[in-house]
Amino acid sequence: MSRTTVTVRPVEPSDLEAILRIDEKLTGRVRKDYWRTRLDIAALRPPWMSSVAEMDGRLVGFLFGWVSESEFGMAGPTGWIDMIGVDPAYRGRRVGQALVERFLRGGQELRGIRKVATLIDLAQADVREFFTRLGFHHGPMIHMETTLGPPEAAGRE
């Protein structure tokens, strides 16, 4: 296999440790329980929805996604890229692009999706630039949220 070839395949439970290493590099946190749950969920979905990328004989990236039929009022099947991560040492080598292309192709061929969406942190310019290069643009919706206090404070005034 060429050192420039990216191979994308469905995620497997045995990928946990490699995903943990990449996630720790990206977030600075160890989230083993979180990733065990994510892999359990991925096992219930079609194989193209959650993928890993390999290069140089090692796992160097991951993508977790899903399809909804009417999420947030969007008519028709819509693909959602929930999470993507690429080992920083492999950025700029088309790993993320290969993962997204696999998701887009699988969603279009197998579920007839015509639209793909994701949520990003606007403070992460590199993530925004990555999706823009792949043809994503700012959609008509905005993310809104609120922060809740501790559960014991609920209901008191």
Percent share of the chain, pLDDT over 90: 66
On whether the CB atoms of residues 14 and 108 are closer than 8 A, the answer is: no
pTM beyond 0.95, yes or no: no
Contact 64, 50 (CB under 8 A): yes
Contact between 2 and 42 (Cβ < 8 Å): no
Which is higher by pLDDT, 4 or 35?
35
The mean-pLDDT minimum among 27-41, 50-64, 141-155 falls in 141-155
Structure confidence by residue, pLDDT tens digits, 87-116: 999 999 999 999 999 999 999 998 889 899
Alpha-carbon distance values, 149 to 91, 96, 153, 157 (Å): 38, 37, 6, 12
Tokens 């887009």 — which residue?
104
Does 59 have pLDDT greater than 70? yes
pLDDT over 80 (residue 70): no
User: Over the Cα atoms of the chain, what is R_g?
Assistant: 17
Q: What is the pLDDT of residues 8-28, one digit of tens each?
A: 999 999 999 999 999 999 999
Give every CB contact of residue 46 below 8 A, 6+ residues apart in sequence: 106, 110
